[in-house]
Chain A
Amino acid sequence: MSILEVQGLTKRYPSFLLDGVTFSMEQGRVMGLIGRNGAGKTTTLKSIFNLVHPDGGAVRIFGLEMPRDERAIKQRIGYAGGAVDFYSRKKLSQIVDVTKRFYDDWDDDACRKYLDAFSLDKNKTPRELSEGMRVKFSLTLALSHRAELLILDEPTSGLDPVSRAELLDAFLFLKKKGVSILFSTHITTDLEKCADDITYIARGKLIASEPLASFMGTNAKAGHGETLEEIMVHYEKESLYEKLADERV
């Protein structure tokens, strides 16, 4: 069953066009949204979450329509960005106390469990946490309201290797529990460890959206590379050397 369906998502900025992106995601899967910096990953995720207004296309989550059913959808999904931190000088306990009031299915026991599991001290403030711990706190908030779909924007960017490995372990655990995860990244090794599917966007256009194994197989056969990194470089590389050597410039 498709938990997320994105149809022809289009968003125009003066210097960028997200051009009719279409993909879908099944329940209980981990999908990596990949592309180089500026490819349109964040615009795609923000459009799905109705943080930006698409110029065209449709988004359906749990069979409900965004933005028409926005409130019902947001009761069941969680969002975390890697670099964003909220209320940096407030205690985690205060943020939890306020956040729980907005969700019908908030689970205090689950909240305590994830705070403990992620070694989060609720008397600390976000500014006292490392970037990895802040992502874990966002995950805790999402999981405490029993989010069925997590949308994560570059959650592993800026993390040290150990924190990244821990976070990827958490993704695998959540996947086993039936939670679906869509996360954007340009760190291809993260995907090789935990993604079932990938959606690849380049310059605002969809290159592929399919199971990771089939994407790797097809590209290996075509000689585009054996690893995700090699495949991305194949699709994306512009010869900077030639540009610099161009005497007309």
Chain B
Amino acid sequence: MKSLLMKEFKLAASPLAYIFLVGALMTLLPGYPILMSAFFICFGVFHSFQNAREVNDVLYTALLPVKKSDFVKAKYAFTCIIQLCGFILCAALTAVRMTAFSAAAPYVSNALMNATPVFLAFVLLIFAAFNALFVGGFFKTAYKIGIPFLTFGIATLLLVALAETLPHLPGLSFLHDPAGEKLGAQFAALAAAVLVYALATVFACQKAKKRFERIDL
């Protein structure tokens, strides 16, 4: 498994997987749907899958003395590591917005989603959608990436729309509140999202293993 993960980083990964981590900086943009940062982080991982397909990574790995299921686990591990790096960057920038820049005028008057633990919760939900819809969809064929990515893109748009709409509904304005008055509730939402992310990823990985086992290469 360790060797497979090393293969992911050294041979299969596209540099764009690392470069698109810069997308986390969108967390700092006022008047912008900052959840798109999660989409761009996933977009970098998508490029790695595309690169892996073009360099025959699947066939190369199938020839190695490894279990096919370990190959799937390594792909998920690579994806989760990139997502974890992206999440840490988003979380650090969220902390900066909620503390050092909490009184900054552009953020105080920001009409769109603020950087709060709820934002981080939605970041995780977008990551979970990527792991289930894109990575899981990829392992149906181990070469088709267009439809799985389109499905993930639609899911992302719906999640962004939901995240931007919810705080405007009666009684839910605290979701948008960067002042930290209902920080406990916001962290509870984040904790729930961590659970959803973990369950969705584990479930998607198990399903992908079964799908990949059935494929003729």
Decide yes or no: A98 and B216 within 8 Å by CB, A74-B64, A87-B55 being known contacts.
no
Please choose the segment from B4-12, B24-32, B95-103, B128-136 that sits at the chain A interface, where 4 or more of its residues have CB less than 8 A away: B4-12
Interface residues in B93-112 by Cβ distance below 8 A to A read none
Chain B residues with CB under 8 Å of A53's CB are 214, 216
CB distance from A123 to the nearest CB of B (A): 16
Interface residues in B52-108 by Cβ distance below 8 A to A read 55-57, 59-60, 62-67
Digit string of A89-105 for contact with B (CB within 8 Å is 1, else 0)?
11000110111011100
* B217-A90 in contact (CB<8A): no
Point out the residue from A70, A74, A89, A98 that lies within 8 Å of B55, measured CB to CB.
A89
* A102-B59 in contact (CB<8A): no
CB distance from B90 to the nearest CB of A (A): 31
Chain A residues with CB under 8 Å of B217's CB are 46, 51-52
A163 at the interface (CB under 8 A from B): no
Digit string of A140-171 for contact with B (CB within 8 Å is 1, else 0)?
00000000000000000000000000000000
Whole-angstrom CA separation of A195 from B147 in the bound complex: 46
* B216-A88 in contact (CB<8A): no
A137 at the interface (CB under 8 A from B): no
Q: Is the interface of B mostly helix, strand, loop or mixed?
A: helix
Of all chain B residues, which has the CB nearest A13? Answer: B216
CB distance from A25 to the nearest CB of B (A): 19
Decide yes or no: A103 and B65 within 8 Å by CB, A53-B216, A94-B10 being known contacts.
yes
Whole-angstrom CA separation of A95 from B6 in the bound complex: 11
* B11-A90 in contact (CB<8A): yes
* Number of A positions contacting B (CB below 8 A): 27
* B11-A101 in contact (CB<8A): no
* A94-B65 in contact (CB<8A): no
Whole-angstrom CA separation of A236 from B69 in the bound complex: 41
Whole-angstrom CA separation of A53 from B56 in the bound complex: 19
Chain A residues with CB under 8 Å of B11's CB are 87, 90, 94-95, 98
Interface residues in A94-124 by Cβ distance below 8 A to B read 94-95, 97-99, 101-103
* B67-A86 in contact (CB<8A): no
* Number of B positions contacting A (CB below 8 A): 20
Whole-angstrom CA separation of A95 from B56 in the bound complex: 13
Chain A residues with CB under 8 Å of B57's CB are 86-87
A200 at the interface (CB under 8 A from B): no
Whole-angstrom CA separation of A94 from B62 in the bound complex: 19
* A85-B56 in contact (CB<8A): yes
Of all chain A residues, which has the CB nearest B214? Answer: A53
Digit string of A68-86 for contact with B (CB within 8 Å is 1, else 0)?
0011111100010000111
Of all chain A residues, which has the CB nearest B56? Answer: A86
Of all chain B residues, which has the CB nearest A85? Answer: B56
Point out the residue from B10, B62, B63, B66 that lies within 8 Å of A98, measured CB to CB.
B10
Of all chain B residues, which has the CB nearest A142? Answer: B63
* B10-A71 in contact (CB<8A): no
Digit string of B185-207 for contact with A (CB within 8 Å is 1, else 0)?
00000000000000000000000
Of all chain B residues, which has the CB nearest A72? Answer: B65
Whole-angstrom CA separation of A90 from B63 in the bound complex: 18
CB distance from A192 to the nearest CB of B (A): 29
Decide yes or no: A87 and B60 within 8 Å by CB, A52-B216, A98-B7 being known contacts.
yes
Chain B residues with CB under 8 Å of A90's CB are 10-11, 55
Point out the residue from A46, A70, A79, A98 that lies within 8 Å of B6, measured CB to CB.
A98
Chain B residues with CB under 8 Å of A183's CB are none
Interface centre among A46, A49, A70, A102 (most CB of B within 10 A): A102
* A102-B64 in contact (CB<8A): yes
* B65-A71 in contact (CB<8A): yes
Known interface pairs A46-B216, A75-B65, A102-B64; 9 further A-B residue pairs with C-beta atoms within 8 A, sorted by A's residue number: A51-B59, A71-B67, A74-B64, A86-B60, A87-B11, A90-B55, A94-B10, A94-B11, A102-B3
B residues contacting A by CB (< 8 A) are 3, 6-7, 10-12, 55-57, 59-60, 62-67, 214, 216-217
Q: List 9 A-B contacts (CB under 8 A).
A: A51-B216, A51-B217, A53-B214, A71-B66, A71-B67, A86-B55, A86-B56, A94-B10, A102-B66
List of 4 A-B pairs having minimum Cβ-Cβ separation, nearest first: A74-B65, A52-B216, A101-B3, A86-B60
